[in-house]
Amino acid sequence: MRPSKKLKDKTKITYKPDYEGLSINTGKFNNLGVYTTMLKPMSGQIKALLTYHSRIALLMFELHLPVTELMPASSSNLDVTKFFKQIKEDLSSSVWGNQKHVIHFWAIENGTSKNGHYHCMIGFSSTVRVGTFYTAPSTFAWELLERRWNEISGGSLNGSKCHIVNRSNQKEFSDAFEHLSYICKTRDKVFGTGEHHKRYSASRLKHNKGTIQLSITDHQPESVKDCVAA
């Protein structure tokens, strides 16, 4: 039986080193596939966030479920949804500067673990204190993410990196997107199984139409490109 057009659309893959002018990670020899259907909403949400804030922070991390019990993906997806909802509620409080515009993206991977795990991104204004992850204990935004995931699921969070992107700097955006595109890789992702659960999901922040778009250029003053979670 031929795969349906709907499935083909969901599993459209690219091996090119770039996507719509942004660098993506397809490996040194361009032999690692990346789902374009995931790249599109991810880049769209980052662009939307940049219409509200001229400087943003993009954090990449993994969410792991407890290994003691088998959990269906439909149930773990609910935990991930609950997690991002709680984080957005937290960030909207005065403690975190009343952040109203927060974006996210996640994709589930099966791998070899019993419950699989999630590769995630969250983005917000760079005014939020990101803190550090590879210390004991983690601090500020990293601590919030780690604590909330453990409270909701009993699982653990592995921080990766934080990128700082200025609205007018295309190179910063492209460098960050190359790293984040790893979330969209084809390896360890399974489509077409007949199971009715999401394999990935993105926030739905709308563009701020009142923002005057600045011209994007590579010739910008040097600035902090990324803040490593360490």
pLDDT in tens, 165-177: 999 999 999 999 9
pLDDT of residue 188: 61
Band of pLDDT at residue 215, cut at 50, 70 and 90: very low
What DSSP element (H or E) covers 125? strand 117-125
- 74 Cβ neighbours under 8 A, 6+ residues apart: 195, 196, 197
- Distance (Å, whole) CA 117 – CA 121: 14
pLDDT of residue 198: 83
In the predicted structure, residue 21 carries a pLDDT above the cut 80: yes
pLDDT, tens digit (0-9, with 9 covering 90-100), for 60-115: 999 999 877 777 777 889 999 999 999 999 999 999 999 999 999 999 987 655 56
- Distance (Å, whole) CA 163 – CA 143: 17
**Mean pLDDT for the chain overall:** 85
Write the DSSP assignment of 13-58 as a string of letters.
EE-SSEETTEE---TTTT-S-EEHHHHHHHHHHHHHHTTT-SEEEE
Cis peptide before 3 (omega within 30 of 0): no
Q: What percentage of residues in the chain have a pLDDT greater than 90?
A: 66
The CA-based dihedral angle spanning residues 65, 24, 186, 64, taken in that order and rounded to the nearest 10 degrees: 0
Scanning 29-169, the segments in alpha helix (DSSP H) are 36-49, 73-91, 140-153
Band of pLDDT at residue 187, cut at 50, 70 and 90: confident
- Distance (Å, whole) CA 155 – CA 165: 30
Angle formed at CA 48 by CA 42 and CA 54, multiple of 5 degrees: 115
Mean pLDDT: which of 112-116, 127-131, 197-201 is highest?
Answer: 127-131
Cβ 169 vs Cβ 56: under 8 Å: no
Mean pLDDT value of segment 127-149: 95
pLDDT of residue 165: 99
Q: What is the pTM assigned to this prediction?
A: 0.85
In the predicted structure, residue 5 carries a pLDDT above the cut 60: no
Mean pLDDT value of segment 196-210: 89
Nearest CA among 121, 211, 227, 213 for reference residue 172: 227
Mean pLDDT value of segment 118-135: 95
What DSSP element (H or E) covers 109? strand 103-109
